[in-house]
Chain A
């Protein structure tokens, strides 16, 4: 149990945790505007990676162009999902919407499987594969990309929600949709925007992660689940909490795998989650108003 090993576990955990954090971020944005948990969020991350692979291999475009093409394409997909599946169901109880998003996630997965097959694909890393030695552990250059882009996204979102008109309008919708529409906020447009931003965040996540983790049509499932867990861990509704929750979940998982048992790695994450839910459901950073009877 030497310090170099522990450091390695932490580095791994932070990298994997960014995956969860970005997925969690997408969940949070949509939840903040509509109160809906979008189970198809993991699929946006998957699409980011898969569309990039298709643009790279199928269309033969250079990697930067492929990535620049993939992200807006997936953002558009998010808009389509909102228009075709969510808007017709507005006003329905939360359970119905959860089921619809589950259906959408199955649909997207089936479509990708049909069009691009079941194979796993690797994206070339942005700046090479030579590991950087760091205090006895190894750091991949792609990990640095992942962490820095995640932080940049977070900063951008914070600015968006606190300083821009659209961002504040979206927050208003989450607090009280009726009041928001009374002051002239187009609630429907905000919902559409929230899905597009979520898809954008998810796509970026997928693109920066695919070089590290490889991608295939079904990477979205577990990612969505763990992202959801990270959301709860950080406090549902808090974007920073979501990202932090993801990072913490990743590190705990990695430490659990290294120090306790790799077979039960996934279980460790969920056990901690359950313990937290029973003791402090508002998560680590959420407001203390989580519903308890």
Chain B
């Protein structure tokens, strides 16, 4: 029996060995296969949230007429906060920065519970009327699905990061029915790296995510619109719209951040804070119902040009939507900023259309719907500082390729202008402030990967402090170092360093040979480092003191030396290994 088994196993073993050898050399096929499934699963996750939101909206619709309806968003936000913070013990946040953080710091490792936590909590917040978007939560859930599948297959960090990107691409592609937007968003925002190895699996995931959405939900373009005839004045006027979008995006960014900071100091339980925020949004929504929820229905009206209202009202509406979003997200509700951005963007476009028709009524401007569409792109690009995402997303979700020229113009201008005022995008600002954004192939990435333990060397000779100069000269004669660490004979403590270059006059006067001891010629008070320190910090210290080497100590004992010479070699190797494909 056992012989029989052995016989049967041998060819299988050979095949396994062949497959493992094949994937070790080239893992593209493996990644593409996994990407296909990750795309399908994250696509399903996106659809689940989308349909749950629709169902919840339908369920609660009947209650909106009552006077106490403002409590509904409060309940939703409180439940969402309780669920996220108390039951699943996950921090708040809308998801995308968390995914970027995991990608840059932990090779894309995400917890399994993140795959559904944000979906449920954001469904409660948005479904009950909170002003937030479902996109960031599905990005997080797609990314977490990808990360855990990658973990199951025992993939390494680089492969896992690609699969995490596949999850996010599949989710965005599925929720918007927009495969290119999924690819571009992932590469531009999540990974920050365009490489041939990444793009193919991510594209596969985006396609499978889109297909899942089309099979289950039908091939719908979210914001269908009429034909636009765009003339030169319209294109030129885009410059002004870009500026306006930039201003609005800065107000939204600052508003969200300052609200978050302010609420953080309020001594109330988290769920209660979220309830207050929800309550305020509910009250605001009683007067301006368009500010509630994800707000896609109002975008449809605006793009179709059926949203006729006065300039003053639309200005109020923009401000109210910004306020509602900051109240929802800043006070502890769960959700993303993608959908609010699109809504505020389309309102801004509408506002701009009102403004230019008022200023130049003689020009035959293209209709308001076109400007709403351009406004969406401008605000997304300004907020995310990702112009390509802005362009492709709007082209795909509106099915309007004829607006591509002004779209490119406005996206690029808006993202450049907002970058000028606010150097980091909304998603990345906090990560950059904490020094946690480590894009592949950058100086920061290399320095954070190289640890002191990897570059410390013991290529030196120690001397004792009570050594006579004569003996020391003999040591110099026999060796060829340009520094000699001094160690206490009895305790082994590190005392200082002798630099032969700096004591040259003594070395040539033989009458001092028996009069001077090493302790008199060594340099003390030398800055030191420990193995646990960050290389970047140690390098800055070396630069500040103009040192080309620094001793590494542990409990006053010398462990080794960090020298810039070794560092340069290792840095170069690291850069080559990290950047070449």
Q: Is chain B a partner of chain A in the same complex?
A: no
Q: Which residues of B contact A (CB under 8 A)?
A: none
Q: Which residues of A contact B (CB under 8 A)?
A: none
